[in-house]
Structure 1
């Protein structure tokens, strides 16, 4: 059996100070239903945290596999804290809300939210929602790694071409001014690099720099 997914929920306090506040009571009940649904589906609910400036430190300590934001429209600043807290250690973010205003969906997805769910907190919907969110997150992370690897390879190729040009120019200078063959010029560069414990391209660049100063 695979280990249960470790989840941190970002949500307001369930304690409602004013029993006449119907909206707060509804939010608390919805939030409680979400947490019960997570537990019923076998997830490891490691903590329920407020969305505040201490969130990054708390997530670093808890190391959850996924972060769920349980918020209404007036608590969307919690999402901003979550995005900032996971910037250096990306994790799938799922946002549950009863707010029917979908104008924020594009911004939420652009900020890194893997799933944005409006209403629908029945327990049987939670697992497929989180499975899809995790799969999407892993796919996006794989694409980012592939892109990063491609950029590294491109930069390494550009650096290799640059170094080759520098070495060829230095060889050409030695061949021209000292009457050396290409092999002799290369051997001299290599020996100088070994004697001085430098890279071949660094020795070549020094020769070009001195030649430019003396020209």
Structure 2
């Protein structure tokens, strides 16, 4: 079991980028802008008070992808209200090649986009409530969920790849059985021997066998 100091060290190493509007409110009479800036500021203070490593706050613009690639954060927080959907689109585009856990904090009670947000990779969709005591468990759960989903994704990819390899080997065996009159066992043994002699995977030898057959046909 990890000690409290070990857990805190883990959080300090976690690099976080917040995607949020500018805190500089031009019109102090704009209650909506003032409220949003106050809420956003509270989130950032809460992150720092909870021991997280807030490395940057970025606007949701066309340069976001390049900035995220340069900073290489471990987790991205989208702090948005009515423009949450637009901000998410920028973040999803920015992380399409390098997946990262995404947490959305919003005061917008319209949750009709929750399902879509989760579908595009949001690990946690949090409506209202930004007390510092809630931030740590929320991010812990978001990280755990992201890691779990990534493991499932890897397992699915591995299973799909293994199935593809078995299919190629089966096709190569069938080809040898047809053209060289070998039994299934002998065809398999021949492919395996070639793979061992050349230091290749059986699937690679099988694919080369199929490719050669196509060239000679």
C-alpha change, 1:47 and 1:204, in structure 2 (3 Å) is closer
Cα deviation, 1:134-180, whole Å, max 9, x if unaligned, reads: 0000000000000000000000000000011111112039xxxxxxx
Q: What residue in structure 2 maps to residue 205 of structure 1?
A: 213
The secondary structure found in structure 2 opposite 1:81 is helix
**Which structure 2 residues correspond to residues 178-197 of structure 1 after superposition, within 5 A?**
none
C-alpha change, 1:112 and 1:170, in structure 2 (3 Å) is same
Deviation of 1:115 (Å): 0.2
Cα deviation, 1:11-48, whole Å, max 9, x if unaligned, reads: 00000101100000000000000000000000000000
Instruction: Using structure 2 for the length normalisation, give the TM-score.
Output: 0.81
Q: What residue in structure 1 maps to residue 37 of structure 2?
A: 28
How many pairs were matched up? 189
Q: What residue in structure 2 maps to residue 86 of structure 1?
A: 95
C-alpha change, 1:111 and 1:203, in structure 2 (3 Å) is closer
Q: What residue in structure 1 maps to residue 147 of structure 2?
A: 138
C-alpha change, 1:38 and 1:207, in structure 2 (3 Å) is closer
Can you give the 5+ residue segments of structure 1 that lack an aligned partner in the other structure?
Answer: 174-181, 210-215
Contact 1:170/1:205 (8 A) holds in 2: no
Contact 2:84/2:106 (8 A) holds in 1: no
Instruction: Using structure 1 for the length normalisation, give the TM-score.
Output: 0.82
The secondary structure found in structure 1 opposite 2:97 is coil
